[in-house]
C-alpha cells in the first residue's frame, strides 16, 4: 500500500465533519504516465481554446492524437459542462477517458472548476465506479485545485437518500494527480461540509425536526471538537426567547436553540488577544425544519419544498464544522434557531403581540413570516456575546427570489465594508450574491399601530428588504450582513453539476470568509 493510499483511508475514516456525507477515499497521487493509469475512468478538463500544453497534450499523445482528431471534427468543443466519454480509448488502460469542458481559459476561476468537476463526477456516479482519476492541470492555482476537488466530491452525491436504487453511487476511491496532498485534503473537507448541509436539508421533515437537528449538531460538534449548548423549551423560556417559542407553539415538536463555539489555535479562552475573549465572528442560521406557513397556511405547491427552510441553519452548522475540521485560527460562535411552523391548537395567531428577548414587541400580521420572528431572538443571543461581526443565513423571503432569481443570494447589511468582505468571499468560490439597499425609508414599512414593529411590511413590495430591516432591529449596531438564500438553497431541477434538491449554498463562502483571500 502506498503512502498516498494510507492517507486516503484516513480521510474516509476520520472525516470529522460528516463520515456519512461524502464517503470513499479522496487522495492525491503523483502523476504517472497517462497510459499506465489503472482506473474505471480518467477525467480530463479541456478549455475551449484547444489542447495547448499540459494534461490535455499528454493524454492526446498517449491516445495517438485522439483528442485532436475529435476536436477537429467538432465532437469535442471544451464548452462549459460538455461531457464527452471516450470509452476504451486507444493507448489507455483506464476504462474510459471523460473529457469535460471548462469554457474559455481566461474565464476559468474557482467556481467554474467546482462545477466542471462536479459535472464530471455526477456523470460518472450514475454507475458504480471503483476508482476515478481526475487530472488537475499545472496552470490551476492551489485554491482552484481545492475547489475542483470539492466539486467532484459533491457531484457524486445525489438527493436519493431513501431510494432502494440510488441514482448516484459514490466512487470507491477518487484520485487527484498534479495536486498536493494538502490541497486535496482541504478540498475533501470542504466537500464534507457541503454534503453535510445537503444531507440535512434533503432529509424529510418528519425525520429532521428541531430535536433531531440538534442531535445531529451534537454529533458533529463531538467529532470536530466544538463546544455545544442546546437550549430546550424550558431554557428558552428562562432566556425570554418568546419569539422563538411563539413560532414553535403550533407544533408537537418543541423548538431548540443550538449554540456552537469553536476556538482555533491562538484563540483559546483567556488567550491574550487585543480583542479579548469576544468571538471574531458569529454565524446565525434560520432553522425552520418545516414551514407550513402556520395559520397563514401556504398553498400546497409552495409548501412542498419547505423542508428546505432550515438550509441557513444547515449551512451555518456545516461551515462552522468545516472551519473547525480545518483548524482555522479564529473564534467562531454559531447559533441556529430550530422550530417547526405548524397550525396546531396552540399556534400563534394574527394580531398576537410577542415580546422578543430584546424587549422589542412584535405584532403578528402573517404567521408565514416566521423566519424573522425566530431570528429576532437568535440574533439577540449572539448580540449579547458582542462578536466583532455577524452574518446570518436564512431562506427568508420569496420576494428575494422574485428580485434575484433562483441562483443568486441577496445581501443586506448595516456595514458596507463587512458586506463587501462577504461578497468577495462568495464570489471567490463562485457563488453569486447581490446586495439590496437598506434605506431608512423602509423602516416605516414595519411600524405597527399596536406594537414596536410588525412582522410584514405594508403592501407586498420590497418584501426581502423589509424582512432584512426587521432583522436589523436585533443586531444592536454590530457589523452584520444578512444572506437571503431562499433561491440558491434548493434547486427545483437537476443541473449538469448537481442533482436537484439541496445545494449546500453558503457553506463554501463562509469557510472562505474565515480563511481570507488566498
Residues designated as active site: 298, 372
Give, as ranges, the residues between 387 and 416 that touch ligand BES (CB under 6 A): 395-399
309 binds ligand BES (CB under 6 A): yes
Q: How many CA atoms lie within 13 A of 482 on its CB side?
A: 31
Q: Which three cell numbers stand for residue 261?
A: 463555539
- CB under 5 to 8 A by kind: which of ligand BES, Mn ion, Zn ion, none does 146 bind? none
484 binds Mn ion (CB under 5 A): no
Residues in the chain: 518
C-alpha–C-alpha distance, residues 449 and 363, integer Å? 9
Per rule CB under 5 A, is residue 368 in the interface with Mn ion? yes
82 makes contact with Mn ion (CB under 5 A): no
User: Judged by CB under 6 A, does residue 169 bind ligand BES?
Assistant: no
Is residue 487 at the binding interface for Zn ion, with CB under 5 A as the rule? Answer: no
Comparing every residue's Cβ against Zn ion, the nearest one is 291
Q: Quick count: other Cβ atoms within 10 Å of Cβ 416?
A: 12
Alpha-helical regions (H) of 304-429: 311-325, 371-384, 398-404, 416-428
* Whole-angstrom distance, CA of residue 193 vs CA of residue 150: 10
- Does 280 contact Mn ion by CB under 5 A? no
Q: Which of 196, 404, 486, 514 binds ligand BES (CB under 6 A)?
A: 486
Alpha helices by DSSP H, listed for 429-515, are 463-472, 507-515
x/- mask, ligand BES, residues 312-351, rule CB under 6 A, reads ----------------------------------------
User: 168 or 286: whose CB is closer to Zn ion?
Assistant: 286
With 0-12 / 13-18 / 19 or more C-beta atoms within 10 angstroms meaning exposed / middle / buried, residue 463 is: buried
For ligand BES, give the closer residue by CB, 59 or 284.
Answer: 284
**Could you tell me which of 282, 287, 283 has the C-alpha nearest to residue 314?**
287
Contact range with ligand BES by CB under 6 A, out of 166-174, 253-261, 262-270, 363-371: 363-371
Quick note: the x/- pattern for Zn ion over 290-329, rule CB under 5 A, is: -x-----------------x--------------------
- For residue 372, the tally of other CB atoms under 10 A from its CB is 28
Instruction: Report whether 403 contacts 490 (CB < 8 A).
Output: no
CA atoms within 13 A of residue 314's CA, in its CB half-sphere: 32
Residue 146 in the binding site for Mn ion (CB under 5 A): no
Q: What angle do CA 267, 273, 274 make, to 5 degrees?
A: 145
**Is 340 near Mn ion (CB under 5 A)?**
no
Q: Which stretch binds ligand BES (CB under 6 A): 96-104, 228-236, 347-355, 362-370?
A: 362-370
Q: Which is nearer to ligand BES, 186 or 202 (CB)?
A: 202
Q: How far is CA 369 from CA 237, 243, 254, 451, in A?
A: 22, 12, 19, 16
Q: Which lies closer to Zn ion via its Cβ, residue 146 or residue 291?
A: 291
CA distance 24 to 128: 12
Helix locations, 159-310, DSSP H: 181-202, 210-224, 233-238, 242-248, 300-303
Q: Does 292 bind ligand BES (CB under 6 A)?
A: no
- Rounded Cα distance, 337 and 378, in Å: 6
Choices 73-81, 118-126, 210-218, 280-288 (CB under 5 A): range interacting with Zn ion: 280-288
Q: Which of 146, 216, 280, 291 binds ligand BES (CB under 6 A)?
A: 291
Residues that bind ligand BES (CB under 6 A): 291, 309, 366, 368-371, 395-399, 456, 463, 486
Residues that bind Mn ion (CB under 5 A): 291, 368, 370
Amino acid at each position: 500500500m502506498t503512502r498516498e493510499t494510507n492517507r486516503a483511508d484516513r480521510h474516509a475514516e476520520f472525516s470529522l465533519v460528516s463520515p456519512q456525507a461524502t464517503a470513499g477515499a479522496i487522495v492525491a497521487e503523483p502523476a504517472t504516465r497517462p497510459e499506465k493509469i489503472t482506473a474505471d475512468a480518467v477525467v480530463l478538463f479541456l478549455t475551449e481554446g484547444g489542447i495547448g500544453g499540459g494534461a490535455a497534450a499528454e493524454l492526446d499523445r498517449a491516445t495517438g492524437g485522439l483528442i485532436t482528431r475529435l476536436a477537429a471534427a467538432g465532437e469535442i468543443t471544451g464548452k462549459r459542462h460538455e461531457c464527452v466519454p471516450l470509452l476504451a480509448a486507444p493507448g489507455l488502460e483506464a476504462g474510459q477517458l471523460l473529457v469535460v469542458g471548462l469554457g474559455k481559459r481566461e474565464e476559468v476561476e474557482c467556481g467554474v472548476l467546482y462545477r466542471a468537476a462536479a459535472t464530471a463526477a455526477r456523470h460518472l456516479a450514475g454507475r458504480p465506479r471503483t476508482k476515478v482519476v481526475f487530472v488537475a492541470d499545472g496552470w490551476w492555482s492551489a485554491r482552484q485545485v481545492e475547489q475542483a476537488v470539492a466539486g467532484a466530491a459533491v457531484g457524486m452525491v445525489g438527493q436519493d437518500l431513501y431510494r432502494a436504487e440510488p441514482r448516484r453511487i459514490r466512487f470507491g476511491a477518487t484520485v487527484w494527480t498534479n495536486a498536493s496532498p494538502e490541497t486535496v485534503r482541504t478540498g475533501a473537507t470542504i466537500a464534507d461540509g457541503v454534503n453535510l448541509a445537503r444531507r440535512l436539508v434533503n432529509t424529510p421533515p418528519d425525520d429532521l425536526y428541531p430535536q433531531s437537528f440538534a442531535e445531529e449538531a451534537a454529533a458533529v460538534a463531538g467529532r470536530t471538537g466544538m463546544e455545544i449548548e442546546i437550549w430546550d423549551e424550558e431554557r428558552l423560556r428562562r432566556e425570554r426567547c418568546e419569539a422563538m417559542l411563539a413560532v414553535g407553539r403550533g407544533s408537537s415538536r418543541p423548538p431548540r436553540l443550538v449554540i456552537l463555539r469553536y476556538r482555533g489555535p491562538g484563540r483559546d479562552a483567556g488567550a491574550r488577544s487585543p480583542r479579548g475573549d469576544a468571538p471574531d465572528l458569529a454565524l446565525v442560521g434560520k432553522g425552520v425544519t418545516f414551514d407550513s406557513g402556520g395559520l397563514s397556511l401556504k398553498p400546497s405547491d409552495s409548501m412542498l419544498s419547505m423542508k428546505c427552510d432550515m438550509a441557513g441553519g444547515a449551512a451555518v452548522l456545516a461551515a462552522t464544522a468545516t472551519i473547525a475540521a480545518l483548524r482555522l485560527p479564529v473564534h467562531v460562535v454559531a447559533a441556529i434557531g430550530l422550530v417547526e411552523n405548524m397550525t396546531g391548537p396552540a399556534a400563534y395567531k394574527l394580531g398576537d403581540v410577542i415580546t422578543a428577548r430584546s424587549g422589542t414587541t412584535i405584532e403578528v400580521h402573517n404567521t408565514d413570516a416566521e423566519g424573522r420572528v425566530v431570528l429576532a431572538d437568535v440574533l439577540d443571543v449572539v448580540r449579547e456575546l458582542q462578536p466583532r461581526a455577524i452574518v446570518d443565513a436564512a431562506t427568508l423571503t420569496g420576494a428575494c427570489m422574485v428580485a434575484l432569481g433562483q441562483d443568486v443570494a441577496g445581501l443586506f447589511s448595516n456595514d458596507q465594508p463587512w458586506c463587501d468582505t462577504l461578497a468577495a468571499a462568495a464570489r471567490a468560490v463562485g457563488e453569486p450574491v447581490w446586495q439590496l439597499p437598506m434605506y431608512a425609508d423602509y423602516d416605516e414599512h414595519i411600524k405597527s399601530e399596536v406594537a414596536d414593529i410588525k412582522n410584514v411590511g405594508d403592501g407586498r413590495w420590497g418584501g426581502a428588504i423589509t424582512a432584512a430591516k426587521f432583522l436589523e432591529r436585533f443586531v444592536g449596531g454590530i457589523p452584520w450582513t444578512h444572506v437571503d438564500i431562499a433561491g440558491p438553497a434548493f434547486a427545483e431541477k437537476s443541473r449538469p453539476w448537481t442533482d436537484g434538491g439541496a445545494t449546500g449554498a453558503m457553506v463554501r463562502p463562509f469557510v472562505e470568509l474565515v480563511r481570507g483571500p488566498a
